[in-house]
Structure 1
Amino acid sequence: MGRTPLDAPARQQEVFAAVLEVLAEVGYARFNMDLVASRARASKASLYQRWPSKARLITDALKANMPRLAQPDEGTFAEDVRQIMRAWGEPQPFDTAGIFLGLLEGSRQDADLACLREEHVDRAYTEHLRVAADRAKARGELPASLDAEVLITALISTFVLRSEERGVVDAIVDGLLRPLIGTFRAK
């Protein structure tokens, strides 16, 4: 009797779990189909048959394991950011910081991964912040000329790099964002 095919949802999730574990453990440069095949008890040929590159396999694994977030509307940009980041900080079965660091490393080396990451992962994670920033601009909390993409990148980068710290969301919102918003309003 053969193994369950890789397109079966439960089997595919096993493969995706192995992908994310390997990426977090070894990074993108050392990530390979052999490691995933061994961890997922699958053949390397069957992985390549379904995913022609490690960039596509990683992207599909991330898309399948992306948290579903509601768009908060707390009345202020700072509180919207706090709610979004708290949702990001919910316990995940994977090493989120390790995965994002592996993605960043890989995106510098692999143009295909960079494109796939931007299209499928970055947009999903940043869309809630973009909506919150647009609302904040409309309310006058943030200047209309503010490059929201730079602010969003700064917030995400700080969160990823410090995600293991206790109270990181409150530190980002209260120690970084609120003073920054106050500076914007003072101008």
Structure 2
Amino acid sequence: MDTPARQQEVFAAVLHVFADVGYARFNMDLVASRARASKASLYQRWPSKARLIVDALKANMPVLAQPDEGSFAEDVRAIMRSWGEPRPFDLAGVFLGLLEGSRQDADLVRLREEHVDRTYTEQLRVAVDRAKARGELSRDLNADFLMTALISTFVLRSEERDVVDGIVDGLLRPLIG
């Protein structure tokens, strides 16, 4: 794992295993086997599965631009389309694994909040704040609940065709009027 290419191979194995088996069944043996690495070398570098998973996610975090499409609905459409760009791992499986693990492991919760959640919520938070300033959304609207609803719906239905348009046109537009 001395080279960036080798580390990326290990991280790819981590995310594939994690998406396949979830947090409870995820272990260093599975990763070592898939990555053709020694379990000892994994533990030497990552003392916990939470740290290994989050480091793998950080290394594969997309660079997400902040769109300004002129309306909240179109900003959300652009944001979610960027989330839907092809990834080298099963995004829904990874997010479901994070949800599962967050019920069991406080370290995972802390690491996830610091390194993963912020990446995905920051774009939506900017879009919500901009929409509130334009008067598209009520200033009383709870942005955290709205963002959780949008992210959860996207993750749970991300495999569906035209899911982004369904969320924006079938849920968000009627909701905000």
Q: Aligned residue for 1:35?
A: 30
Whole-angstrom distance in 1 between the partners of 2:7 and 2:140:
44
Q: 2:90 aligns with which of 95, 98, 111?
A: 95
Which residue of the partner structure matches residue 52 of structure 1? 47
CA offset at residue 126 of structure 1? 0.7
Superposition RMSD on alpha carbons, in Å? 0.6
Query: Displacement of 1:7 after TM fit?
Result: 3.6
Residue 139 of structure 2: which of 121, 138, 144 is its match?
144
Residue 172 of structure 1 aligns with an amino acid whose one-letter code is: I
From the CA coordinates, give the structure whose radius of gyration is larger: 1
Unaligned residue ranges in structure 2 (runs of 5+): none
**TM-score, normalised with respect to structure 1:** 0.93
1:77 to 52, 69, 72: 72
Give CA deviations for 1:62-114 in whole Å, capped at 9, x if unaligned.
00001111100001000000000001111111111011001100010101001
Q: Name the count of aligned residue pairs.
A: 177
Task: Please give the secondary structure, in 1, of the residue aligned with 2:136.
Answer: coil
TM-superposed CA distance for 1:8, in Å, is 1.6
Aligned residue among 149, 163, 167 for 2:162: 167
**Which AA in structure 2 matches 1:26?**
V
* 5+ long unaligned stretches in structure 1: 1-5, 183-187
Indicate the residue corresponding to 1:155 in structure 2: 150
Percent of matched pairs sharing the same residue: 85
- Measured in 2, the distance between the counterparts of 1:115 and 1:142 equals 30
Partner residue, 1:3 = none
Deviation of 1:171 after TM superposition, in Å, equals 0.4
SS at match of 2:103: helix
Moved over 6 A (4+): none
CA deviations over 1:117-150 (Å, ceiling 9, x no partner): 0110000011000000000000000111111010
